[in-house]
A and B are shown apart, each in its own frame.
Chain A
Amino acid sequence: MKLYVKYIGRVGFHVNGEGVTEQLSEKAKGILLYMALNNKEYHRNQLKQLFWCDFNEASANRNLRHAIWNIRKVFRTVDANFDVLINVSKSVIKLNHSLVIERDIDYFDQLMKRESISEVEMNSCLEDFGQDFLENFFISDSQDFNNWVYYERESFRRKYFNHLLSLAKRFMGEEKYNMALKILNNLILLDSYNESLYLMIMKLHVKNGNKSFALHTYKEAKRVLREELNLGLSKEMKVYYQVISKRVNEKSDLKSNQLNLDFNRIINSDNKMTIIITDQMNNINQFKYDFLSFNQRPLIELSKIPGRRLPYEGVFEFIDEYAHLFQGDIAIQALNDISAMKTQHIDALVLFNQLSDFLKKHQREKIIVVIYNLAYMDDKFIDFVSYIYRKDSCHNIQFLIAYNKNWETSRIKFFIDAMGIMDDINIIEG
């Protein structure tokens, strides 16, 4: 006979592969959770104290007997001859020694002991074990049991945190920066006020060649700590921020841009969109180089590589990049849900509407969406940009679009003509 107990997330019991959770009373579940975790002998008085401490002796006895009967009955529905609870003596019980107990938390321990972990295994680990120990499992009249749950929950959370932090450090050592980043961004959800996590993320972004993400992380840490707890950042964080800001600025001084663009003025203006039109491909490449050297704001880069958006459309590329930029932000789940629709056929208007609503609600720090070559984007994406502009749902987004005139299509021409007459759109030709 095999019992599988799911301790992480919503509680679950399977006997020989068959789900039996719903057949157990709350206290029967509690007893089974408690006994299956350590699998020892238990005095009945101990169980009565855990679950019926406020009951008189007779009532507590009766309730315990009933819960034990409930547990036995559930196992007997699978095997009529199997007694899951053995009476060691009149007052001591234990789980049948022939019962094979499997627990989800054991898998976590095994995984953490392994010398190497693949990306797929890591992803499923984050998904399976990122939830709480016995999530929402609370028996209102069983104070001692609740204290036990609270203690175990804290212990597991700490263990999970420490193991994953070690794993992230291991990945950093192996230069698997994206995997390390994914872990750290998950840990931030558990401990959103932990400055050292933010600092590690910043350093990883820098190692990964993504300084603007590092600067964004700094600002996010600053915002969270100030907004939630009225705390400032540590000196270490500030010094590191200054170091990387300086590096970004130094780089921008190396080369003046050939288009003679005043990025400072463009970015700090109230314009929602700037469209740079040129007929020289060199200018577009120069623009890309110069802009990246200049920029310190959170950034979404689109059309960096031709064909990147295949097999899915440019709108979903935007969604995924946006979700990546704000990973760790709990509100992004809604965007991930929209992203999951990329494999389905979905009406463009429905998609635009959902995205527009999301962007309206998700007003965070100002970000720049830079499109290095508008001609690489599909018509649907151009429709989408027009839509959210018209719906006024991109308050915190500033579009910076470069466009090679030689690659003009009728859709692009229509877009440029329509945008060209708007007050808050800046068109630069060069």
Chain B
Amino acid sequence: MDLYLIKNCQVIDMVTEQTQQKEILVEKGVIKKIESPGIIHCEKTYDLKGKTILPGFIDSHMHLIPSCIDQYAINLENAKSIEEILELIKIERERNPETNMIIGSRLTEFSLKEKRLPTKEELDRVAKDIPVFLSSIEFHTVTVNSYVLHQLNLPLSLEKIIRDENNHPTGQMVNNASIIARKKMYEMFSEKNLKQAFEKVYQNIIKNGITSLIAIEGGFLFHNKHVDFLVKNKLDYPIDIDILFSTTDVNKVKVLGLNKIGGDIFLDGSFRSRNAKISESYSDAPGETGKLFFSQEEIEDLIETCILENLQISVHAVGNVGIKTLIDAYENVYKKYPKKDYRHKIEHFELPNEEDIPRVKKLGLVLTMHPSYEHFFRGEGGMYDQRLGKERSLKTNPLRQIFDAGITVAGGSDSHILPANPLLGVHSAVNHPNINSRLTTFEALKMYTINGAYGNREEHLKGTIQEGKMADFVVLSDNPLTSNSNELINISIEQTIKNGIVIFSKDDQ
């Protein structure tokens, strides 16, 4: 439909915190006109039957290719014993006899009755002739079978493979060796399988109302060939896929014609791996305070290079020391260059010092945060509680304080770690376990609409329902602004519309 009228709908345009009865004229994928009902006459109409329409959701932090690979992975999170793991591999091979590699994810020895990871000999019992890679939840450890071990060619100075009492490798690799093993896994994963998985992941993305996303790909944790794959294939899909290449190699990014860099440039690590840099020890590891992977000088050099190359940079910082170091770096570099509308970013920003929040505003930085961390990682015995302790975990993801400081916060799902579900993010932000950190529903929706667009320098095209903007919409079963806060999670996505075309409809499912 080149020209049609969307009618009979409740419009939340994300410009004002109101729900309006409006009709939207769409021409060639763009919003042509917005008027009260009955004013615009158009032959073709699209009746939303009273449902609520918002700008299409923008997911500002997603690991798209790892999400695809997860489609092929056996989830080992609930395995209770090594025998159970072997059984799951056996079942997978029986279910799919053509499979040429086994990938397992979310393995943790703590939930196994043996309290240890399987050995390569055990894995060989069920898969001696194809590669097997089992990753731990936080990617810290990778366990492989003999087949993989003999193909790895680990550099000599990487002494991070675990050995048994006979000095034979057990198949378990940690730290840097696990990075090499994961890279090998990505290399072995065929492009054909990736394409098939991409289709499934795409269906899930549009089912969740996402019309634009920022895919954080490549870098030391993943594989640079994923970036090449996306560059080659992203236009086959109607949604907007922007690539954030997690490299420090500015030339590579420029050659690909990308205008942004980073995402997973790890200034520090994560709470789960206890390498997010914090000022006081981890609650469950006295003496450990995490790690900074860049010196102050190195991170400033990188930011400066990006400014000179006109690239928007996003850096990962989680712990309060990591975050402060990064803000200091931006501040120092900005002193050298006249302040412009750079919109450089900080990804995660989970545990900032209170006094650092206003500095973010002053520097004009954009934050990408993940409210659903609070949904999954909080609670008694949860990850935040274990690693940070009760008192400190109350300070994680202080969205209220950040919004009150006037900072632009874009929302990201951090899929494949967590579900690619913006409404879950909205629900989590509104129902933040710390009452003092909660957002209003409108504010939370901004994270996944206009703030996402602003962070991606696309606010003139997306993020609100206004004339001249792209006709990207999500149609909801209920109005989130009038729903009870604890009911937000139950709102369903009825339609997803990209450039004026319905790409998902619940009725077709």
Residues in chain A within 8 A of chain B (CB atoms): 132, 136, 138, 140-141, 143, 146-147, 149-151, 157-158, 161, 190-194, 223, 226-232, 363-366, 395-396
Contact = CB atoms under 8 A, between A and B. Distances in A.
How many of chain B's residues touch chain A, expressed as a range? 35 or more
Contacts, number: 78
Contacts of B176: 193, 229
Among all A-B residue pairs, the 8 with the closest Cβ atoms: A363-B255, A140-B128, A191-B156, A230-B220, A191-B155, A138-B150, A147-B168, A194-B157
Interface stretch (B5-13, B245-253, B362-370): B245-253
A227 B167 contact: no
Given A191-B155, A194-B155, A232-B294, A140 B147 contact: yes
A223 B169 CA distance: 30
Nearest to A226: B248
Interface string B310-323: 00000000000000
27 contacts: A132-B153, A140-B129, A141-B128, A143-B146, A146-B150, A147-B168, A150-B150, A161-B156, A191-B155, A192-B155, A194-B155, A194-B156, A194-B157, A223-B249, A227-B219, A227-B248, A228-B179, A229-B176, A230-B266, A230-B293, A232-B293, A232-B294, A363-B251, A366-B251, A395-B254, A395-B255, A396-B251
Contacts of B180: 228
A149 B156 contact: no
B509 interface: no
B149 interface: yes
B282 to A, nearest CB: 20
Contacts of A395: 254-255
Chain B, interface SS category? loop
A223 B155 CA distance: 17
B199 interface: no
Interface of B: 121, 124, 128-129, 146-147, 149-151, 153, 155-158, 166-169, 176, 179-180, 219-220, 224, 247-249, 251-252, 254-255, 266, 293-295, 298
B147 A193 contact: no
B293 A149 contact: no
A39 B249 CA distance: 52
A395 B176 CA distance: 32
B508 to A, nearest CB: 42
Contacts of B293: 230-232
A256 B163 CA distance: 61
A227 B179 CA distance: 11
B272 to A, nearest CB: 17
Nearest to B167: A151
Residue of B151, B155, B169 with most chain A CB atoms under a 10 A cut-off: B155
A192 B155 CA distance: 7
Given A158-B156, A194-B157, A396-B255, A228 B146 contact: no
A181 to B, nearest CB: 20
A230 B270 CA distance: 14
Contacts of A191: 155-157
Contacts of A364: 251
Contacts of B169: 147, 150
Nearest to B298: A232
A227 B146 contact: no
Nearest to B169: A150
Contacts of B146: 138, 140, 143, 146
Nearest to B149: A150
B294 A193 contact: no
Given A151-B168, A227-B219, A396-B255, A138 B147 contact: yes
A27 to B, nearest CB: 15
Given A365-B251, A395-B255, A149 B155 contact: no
A257 B496 CA distance: 64
A136 B149 CA distance: 11
Contact of A157 (B156, B224, B251, B298): B156
Contacts of A143: 121, 124, 146
A51 to B, nearest CB: 14
A190 B155 contact: yes
A158 B157 CA distance: 10
Contacts of A150: 149-150, 168-169
Nearest to B252: A363
Contacts of A363: 251-252, 255
A380 B146 CA distance: 52
B126 to A, nearest CB: 12
Nearest to A132: B153
Residue of B146, B158, B168 with most chain A CB atoms under a 10 A cut-off: B146
A253 B294 CA distance: 32
